[in-house]
């Protein structure tokens, strides 16, 4: 019975500790392509340490960047990373893939105690806005290509047009001559009939 109480007390303590850690974890939101600064809260508790290193917690912690003796070593370039004041992690041009949980680890001096802090980052989806302008180009098939009209066809067309004009002129002249000729004959017939009438009057 005593062992069961101890086990239940341990489980309760672990659950409380887990909830306490989860509730105390900072949460930062950002937009696509922003510059994000993740503070290392562990540096607020200690200022003496050998080096600081940042991890991204996925299936296993993946090291991102480390600073030791003023020199920085980049292990995995998620976007463009650097370390700011007090070990803050700076992410440039962040993407949705940068979302997740991050860990700042401080390696203590000999005889000291290591420390760490956690922070969660959430980056919104990137919005790609494309402006579509109406096209003013005329489709290729709306007008005949110039190459389709050859010189030979152009010459033939002009020749036929010229011949049609000549034929029309000939017909017009012929009709006019015929009308004039018919009119002259009628005048002569009228004059001849008038002359015969006058002769009969004299007789």
Model confidence over 28-43: pLDDT tens digits? 999 999 999 999 999 9
Is the model's pTM score more than 0.85?
no
The domain defined by 24-123 carries CATH number 3.80.30.20: no
At 22, the pLDDT band (50, 70, 90 cuts) reads very low
Model confidence over 4-18: pLDDT tens digits? 556 555 554 454 444
What's the angle, vertex CA 89, arms to CA 120 and CA 41, rounded to 5?
65
Task: Report how far residue 109's alpha carbon sits from residue 168's, in angstroms, rounded to the nearest whole number.
Answer: 115
Q: Which helix (H) or strand (E) holds 23?
A: helix 2-24
């Amino acid at each position: 019975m005593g062992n069961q109480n101890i086990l239940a007390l341990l489980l309760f303590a672990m659950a409380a500790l887990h909830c306490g850690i989860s509730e105390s974890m900072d949460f930062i939101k950002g937009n696509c392509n922003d510059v994000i600064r993740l503070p290392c809260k562990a540096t607020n508790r200690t200022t003496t340490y050998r080096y600081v290193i940042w991890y991204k917690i996925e299936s296993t912690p993946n090291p991102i960047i480390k600073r030791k003796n003023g020199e920085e070593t980049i292990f995995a370039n998620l976007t463009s990373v650097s370390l700011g004041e007090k070990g803050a992690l700076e992410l440039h041009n962040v993407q949705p893939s940068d979302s997740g949980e991050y860990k700042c680890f401080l390696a203590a001096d000999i005889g000291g105690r290591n420390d760490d802090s956690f922070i969660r980052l959430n980056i919104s989806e990137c919005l790609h806005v494309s402006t579509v302008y109406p096209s003013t180009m005329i489709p290729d098939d709306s007008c005949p290509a110039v190459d389709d009209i050859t010189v030979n066809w152009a010459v033939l067309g002009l020749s036929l047009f010229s011949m049609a004009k000549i034929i029309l002129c000939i017909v017009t002249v012929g009709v006019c001559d015929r009308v004039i000729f018919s009119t002259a004959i009628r005048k002569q017939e009228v004059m001849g009939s008038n002359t015969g009438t006058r002769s009969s009057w004299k007789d």
